[in-house]
Amino acid sequence: MPADHAYVPSMPPAALLTAEDLLHVRMPNKQVELVRGLLVVREPPGYRHGEVTARLTKALMDFTDAHDVGRVLAGDAGFTLATNPDTVRGPDVAFIRRERLPHPSPSGYAPFAPDLVIEVLSPGDRPGDTLAKVADWLSAGTRLVWVVDPERRLARVYRADGSETDVTTDGALDGEDVLPGFSGALAAIV
């Protein structure tokens, strides 16, 4: 071996996990997702994140219960968005239209993407990671993604057709054709 080249032993590639494997991962006080077979571990998002997530969940549940249009899920319920390798994402809040609800409800991860996904940013979130999540949701069939930024008091709406819109505190999050009739003033949420 030439003197100017150091020997670097080869490392075996990381073993890819499946959605089934992820069901059995236990990491106390951490949040986990699976992205193309690789485990992604995050810190808990914090108080403000929980506050905003709760307000969004309540507003959506009040509307969906009153109109019987579908189901709202919160608390990082997992959805398998791709297989071989598997991607399992857990949105902060999700909405599934009534006609798409699985019967019975899956005990593990739902094998489809929700109609609406809401991601609430926390202080440790990096823009590239957030955009990767948005891309995963939209690629898997989610029609509308709201990314809510409590610190900057704004939201960005991403649609399946590729369009995007910013919402400021004088505006509202609109259910559009995914959740017709829903409108939530951003100022009341953040």
Range with the poorest average pLDDT among 18-27, 75-84, 111-120, 154-163? 18-27
Cβ 64 vs Cβ 95: under 8 Å: yes
Residue 57 identity (one-letter amino acid):
T
Cβ 161 vs Cβ 174: under 8 Å: no
Q: Is the pLDDT of residue 103 over 70?
A: yes
> 91 — alpha (psi -120 to 50), left (phi > 0) or beta?
beta
pTM listed for this prediction: 0.88
* Mean per-residue pLDDT of the chain: 91
Cβ 119 vs Cβ 145: under 8 Å: yes
Q: Is the pLDDT of residue 52 over 70?
A: yes
Q: pLDDT-derived band of residue 161, with 50, 70 and 90 as boundaries? A: very high
Domains of the chain: 46-189 (3.90.1570.10)
CA distance 174 to 184: 7
Residues 6+ apart with CB under 8 A from 13: none
